Structure formats: C-alpha cells, structure tokens
C-alpha cells in the first residue's frame, strides 16, 4: 500500500475503540490526523501521543458531531490550519439496545443525532471543502444486514449512512472523490453491548472463528483511504469475518 504522506485526515470519534485504531493506522501511513473527540480530551491526547511515537503528526480537536454548528466549526478549523482535507472517516457513533416497543423518544433522538444527522452534515462539509481525489469512509454496521431484535433504531441510523454513501458517491464521482462504507460485524471494543451468551453464538457462526479486533477494521479503512482504492466507490463493504 502506498503511504499517505501529505494527506490530512479527519477521524470523528477517534479517542477510543475503532476510531482510535483507525487514527493510529492512518497515522502510521503518514497522514496528518485530526483526532476528533466529544468530551474525553485526555484519551484524545493519548491517541495524538501514540501517533507521534511512530513518527506521525496528529492534533486533537473537540467537537460534538450531533451539533451542526460544531461540525461546521471543526471543518473550518481544519481548513484554517491545514488548508485542505483529503480523507474523512465518519466513525463517531452511539447505540441503544432496546426493542422498538420500549425505545424512548430521548433514545431515538440521541442515536439519530449522532449516527445520522452528524454523519450527514459532516458529509455536507466534506463535499464543500474536500480536495478533488479525496476519500470518504463511513463506518456503518453489520446490524443493517443481520437483523437482530433490539437494534431497530441503531440499525436504522446505520442504514441511512449507507444510503448517504451510495448517493454521495455519485454526486462526487466527477471530482475523483470516492465514498464508501464499512460494515463491521462483532468487534471487541468497550461499545459492544450484546450479552455474553449471544456473543458466543455469533462467534461460533463466524467462518473465520473469532471476534474482530479494531485493527481489523482499521486496516480496511486504510486501504480505502489509499490510492490503490481509487476504483472503488459507492460500496458497503462487509467486514465481519464472513458472519454477514
């Protein structure tokens, strides 16, 4: 894989989990990383330090992606400081495990605000500001394929992200900007909310025989951010070890 030296990459929700691994992976490839976080400045600075230890450059910028004003300010800061944006990874997300019957309005609004509204308006800013030939990668979920009770709201937010991906790929294709989604299956992170017995059954059903690590997803994102992925756009790539 060719390196990403000279590229500016924004990873939302990059202070932990999959986002943290993505930020580190892109940093290893030479990109300058914007580590976006909502509240945990200490964790974000840890990511910045981790990237620096392998010779990369990274900067932590706070923004709540559920708020359009924060998204706009985040992109403006990047433009003011770096002049351009080459790679956007929409990773920030939240979840709720609740049946449709029991989901509250607050839960519905909270999950849609981050997962759907936040991604949409980040895509809007990227479409306006990103340099031609850029890369946009949206983190969706295998929950849009493996229909699971309790994930109605969460899966709906991620399904919307996939539709944004398909449409924006066509809208930005003439500029050489690729737009793809990655659908992780089971990933061992602190955000995993399934009960242990359900996890065991799903792992047993996975052809590759294990749960993913966040690095597995980060490697796929790094490929989609590279020049080698230039002929891939408008795709929802299942990254679940064959489970979906």
The set of catalytic residues is 154
d(CA 172, CA 195) in angstroms, rounded, equals: 41
Sheet holding 58-62, edge to edge: 58-62, 32-37, 8-11, 87-90, 135-139, 178-184, 236-239
Q: Are 56 and 33 in contact (CB under 8 A)?
A: yes
The number of beta carbons lying within 10 Å of the beta carbon of residue 217 is 26
Tokens of 203: 């792992």
Q: Measuring CA to CA, how many Å separate 205 from each of 189, 209, 237?
A: 19, 8, 19
d(CA 204, CA 201) in angstroms, rounded, equals: 5
> Between vectors from CA 86 to CA 34 and to CA 61, what angle results, nearest 5°?
15
């Amino acid at each position: 894989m060719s390196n990403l030296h000279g590229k500016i990459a924004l990873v939302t929700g990059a202070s932990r989990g999959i986002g943290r691994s993505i930020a580190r992976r892109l940093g290893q490839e030479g990109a300058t990383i914007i580590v976006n976080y909502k509240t945990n400045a200490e964790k974000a600075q840890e990511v910045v330090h981790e990237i620096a230890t392998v010779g990369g450059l990274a900067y932590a910028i706070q923004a709540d992606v559920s708020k359009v004003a924060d998204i706009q300010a985040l992109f403006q800061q990047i433009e003011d400081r770096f002049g351009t944006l080459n790679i956007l990874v929409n990773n920030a997300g939240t979840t709720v495990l609740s049946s449709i019957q029991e989901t509250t309005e607050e839960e519905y609004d909270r999950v849609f605000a981050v997962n759907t509204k936040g991604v949409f308006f980040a895509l809007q800013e990227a479409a306006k500001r990103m340099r031609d030939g850029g890369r946009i990668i949206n983190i969706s979920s295998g929950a849009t394929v493996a229909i699971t009770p309790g994930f109605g709201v969460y899966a709906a937010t991620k399904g919307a992200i996939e539709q944004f991906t398909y449409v924006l790929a066509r809208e930005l294709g003439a500029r050489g900007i690729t737009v793809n989604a990655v659908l992780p299956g089971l990933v061992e992170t602190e955000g995993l909310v399934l009960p242990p017995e359900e996890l065991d059954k799903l792992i047993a059903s996975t052809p590759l025989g294990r749960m993913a690590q966040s690095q597995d997803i980060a490697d796929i994102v790094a490929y989609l951010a590279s020049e080698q992925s230039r002929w891939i756009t408008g795709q929802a790539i299942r990254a679940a070890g064959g489970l979906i």
